[in-house]
A and B are shown apart, each in its own frame.
Chain A
Amino acid sequence: MSTVAAAHDDHDHHHAPTGLKRWLFSTNHKDIGTLYLWFSFAMFLAGGFMAMIIRAELIEPGMQFVDPEFFNQMTTVHGLTMVFGAVMPGFVGLANWLIPLMIGAPDMALPRMNNWSFWILPFAFTILLSSVLLSAFGHGNPSAPNFGWTFYAPLSTKYGPASTDLFILSVHMMGISSIMGAINVIVTVFNLRAPGMTLMKMPLFVWTWLITAFLLIAVMPVLAGAVTMMLTDRHFGTSFFDAAGGGDPVLFQHVFWFFGHPEVYIMILPAFGIVSAIIPTFARKQLFGYASMVYATASIALLSFVVWAHHMFTVGMPLAGTLFFMYMTMLISVPTGVKVFNWVATMWRGSMTFELPMKWAITFVILFTCGGLSGLMLAITPVDFQYHDTYFVVAHFHYVLVSGAVFTMFAAAYYWLPKWSGMMPNKVLGELHFWNSLISVNLLFFPMHFVGLAGMPRRYADYALQFADYNFWISIGGFWFGLSQLFFLAVCLQCALKKGEKAEAKPWDGAEGLEWEVPSPAPFHTFDTPPVVK
C-alpha cells in the first residue's frame, strides 16, 4: 500500500526520561499507550473477577455465596468496569501506540492532553471501585451502584444508593477523559499525516479510529447530560425522570441509549480496523474492498445515531417509532455484512498461515458474526418482546464484546507485541491462551442463548430449576475463561521483561504499513522527520 522513501532517524534528539517520571509525566505516545494497555488489562481482570462472583452464585439454583443485593452490585460494576475500564481504554491504548506509527507522525497531536486523558482514568475508577470495596468490607456495608450498568431511572435516581453520586461524578471524569482522547485522535489523523499519506491510503485501523473518535465526541457529552439530570433529580428536586413533575423515566432511557448505541460501535469499530490489518497479512493478499470498508464503517457510524430505541421496544413506544427503529437497526446489517464479506474475500485463495494473531482474527470473524446474527433476531420488534431482558440478550452482547472486541485486542497484542516490546510473544503460552479461551468462551456464552430463549431473565441472583444444568456448564465455562487469561498475563510479562525470542523489525512477512519500517522495539521517538509515502 505504501513505501517509505525518506530514511527515518531513530536517534533521540532529547534524552528519553527515565524512572517514575517517565511514566507519570509522559508526553510520549508509546509510553502513554503502554499505560493505557496495562490499565485496560488490570480492569479486565477486575471486571472478570466480578463476573466470576456472578457465575459462582449462579452455578446452581438457590443462594450460595452472596446476597442478592451484592449480586446486583456485581452485575452493575462488572458491566461498567468492562465497558469504561477495559474495552474503551484498551482501544485508546492501541490508538496511541499505532496511529502515529501508521501515519508517520512524530507523536499524538496534543501530547500533554494525551497524558491527562490517561491519568484521569485511574482516579475515576478509584472512585467507582472503592464503592465496591466499601460494600464488601466496609462498616455497615454501604451499597455500591446496584441498578445495572445502564443505570435506568428511577432505580438510579429515587432508589439509588448513596454511592450513586460518586458513580455520577466518576462517569463525568471518564467522559472528560474520552472526549480529550478522541479529540487527540481526530486532530492527529487530520493534521499529522506524513506527506503522501492521503486519507484513502490510511490503514483501516486509522480510519475506524477516526470514525470512532467522532462518535465519542458526539455522544460522551450526551452521557454527561444524562448523569447530570440524574444528579439534579436526586438532590435538587428536578423532575426530568419523574412523571409527577411532568417528566418521564423513559426520557432517561432515550438520553442514555442515544449515548449507548453509538457507544456499542465505539467498542467494535476499532476491532474492525485491527482485523482488517491482520487478515491481509496472514492471507498474503491486499485487503479486499478497501474503499467499501471505509464507507461501510462510516455508514455504521451514521446509522448508529438512529437506532437507539431498539433497546427499548418493550417500554411502550408508539408503533411508528418501534417500526422505524426496527428497520434502521436491520439496515445496519448491510454495511456490517459488507465487512464480513470483505474479510472472507480477503482470505479467499490467499496463502494462508495461522499464526496467533490470525487465529484470533478468524475467530473474531466467525464469533462476531454469530453475535451479529443474534442481534438481527433482537432487532425484530415482536420477537424482541420475547427476548427482552433475558439471557439471550446477555449472550448476544457478550458474543460481540468478548469474542468480538476483546478477542481483537488479543489479536492486536499478539500482532504488535513484537513492535512494542521487541520480543516475540511466547508461542506455547499463546496457543494455550487461544485454545482455552476459544473453547471456554463458547461454553460460557453459547448456552446462554438457550436459557434465554427458554425465558431465564438476566440480572437475577437465582433461577428456576429447569435452567440448572445449562447454568452449571456456563459457570464452568466462566471460570475456565477467566483463568485462561492468566496465560495472556504470562505472555505480556515475558515480553515486558524481555524474555524469549527477539523480534525483527518486520516479524510477519506479509505485513504492510509504516509501523513495520521502524526497528523493533520501536524507538522512543519515531518519524521526527516525516517519511514520504508514495
Chain B
Amino acid sequence: MTAAVEGSQAIRQARTGAKPLLQSEAAQGFALVSPTFLFALVLLVLPILVVLAHSFWTQNYLTIDRTFTFEQYRIALTEPIFRDLLLRSLLISFAVSVATVVLAYPVAYFISFHGGDRKNLWLFLITIPFWTSYLLRVMSWKVILGYNGVLNSGLLALGIIDEPSTAFLYNSSAVVITLTHAWAAFAILPIYVSLQKVDRTLIEAAADLGDGPVRRFLRVTLPLSMPGVISALLIVMIPTVGDYVTPKLVGGKYGVMIATAIQAQFGKAANWPLGAALSVSTMLVVSAMAAASVLLLRLAVRWAR
C-alpha cells in the first residue's frame, strides 16, 4: 500500500520535474487559460480602451483630432436630444428590470419549493422561448400590438372597442412589454439558483418559533434569496439599456433609445468620438443606477424584516 503511494508520487514528481508541485500547477493552469484570456484581452479589453480613448478626442471631418477634451461628454450629457434619449433608456431599462424580477420571483419560488421531480422540466420550458430568435420575438409583439394586430382584432371581435386602437404600438410601454418578455428567463434562473440554496431547516425553525407564512417569507426566504434577485436585476438592467432592435421595431418615435443615437454616430453621422462618449456615458450612468438600485433594495429588505 505504502509502496504504491510512494510509487505514484515518484511518477508524479518525474512528470512535473524538479519544480514544486504548486508552482508548476499554477503555470500549467495559466498556460491552459491563456488562449481564451488573450482572445478576451484583444477583442474585449482592447476595444473598450480604444472606445475610451476616442471619447476624449474630436472628429474633424475625416480625421480625428487627438487633443484631450471633455467636449464629447459635454455634448453627450447636456445636449437635449442625447440627454432625453439617455434618460428614457434608463427609465425603460429600470422599468423592465423591476418588472421582470417581480414577475419572475413567484415562478422561481414555485419551481424551487413546489417543483418536485419536475424542476428541470419547468426550467427547460422557461428557457426554450428565450433561445428562439430575438428578432422574431420582437416581431411577434409587433404582430400582437399593431393596428391590424392580434390584440386589436381580438378586442374588436369581442366588441370591447369599435375601431382599432393605435395606443398599443410605437411607444415606451410597447418597448417595456417586449423587453420584459424577452428577458424573462434571465431573471428566473438566478433567482431560482439562490432559492435552491436557501436552507429549508431555517424556514422550519422560523415556523416552530411561531412565525406565520408571510413573516417566514419576509424574514428568512426573501433575505436569503437576495443575491439571486440582485444578479437578476443587474443581468437585465445593464444590457437592456443599450437595446437596439426593440425600440426600432416597436418603439416608434416615442420609444427611441440611446442605442439608435450610438448607431447613428458610427454610421451616417460618422462621429466616432461622440459615439464613443455616448457609449461610455451610457455604461457609467447605467452602472450608477444599478448600484443605487441594489443599495435601495438591500435597505428595503432590511426594513421589511
A and B pair up: no
List residues of chain B with CB under 8 Å of any chain A CB: none
